[in-house]
Structure 1
Amino acid sequence: MTTAIIPVLTALPAHAWGNGNGPGWFVLFPFLWILLIGFFIFFSRRMFWRHRMQGDPMSAEGVLRERYARGEIDETEYRQRLEVLRIGRK
């Protein structure tokens, strides 16, 4: 990526380089903002997806999952109750 930016920076007039000795850092700030916003979007969507996949632990399905995980109910009872919950939700 930096090799693609250098020809663009060399084409700028001398006063755009800051003190005349090197590239002006103001040219790189838009790239940093884009990168920061991209990370924010990526991680916020990832957290939203993870929350959606796990579901609400206090919902009826969450309580049912907890009871099945603790061994209070067996698989057939879990599936029957889950089906009843999902039919009632529709």
Structure 2
Amino acid sequence: MKENEGGANLPSFLSAKNLEPFISKSLVADLIEPLQYQLTKGGAAANGIKAELLPDICGVWLAARARMNCTHRKSILQNKPKY
């Protein structure tokens, strides 16, 4: 998690500055309190997110992609590495 200027800790996949306009306050509120879990008895605790937040997180990325300049998107697709 990274702390943004507003003081909220967001997961690294949402901490980019250019995503800020697409992240709702309610999503930030849900993400700043991670879900704590333990994989095995006696194992280390880990932080996760509620599965219900995945559509909202994907929505952030989809909204940002939709706003992206079309010519920039074309240049990304044209320069896509070939495997």
Q: Which TM class, normalised by the smaller chain length?
A: under 0.3
**Greater relative contact order: 1 or 2 (C-alpha under 8 angstroms, separation 6 or more)?**
2
Structure number with higher strand proportion: 2
TM-score by length of 2: 0.28
Which structure has the bigger radius of gyration?
A: 1
Structure number with higher helix proportion: 1
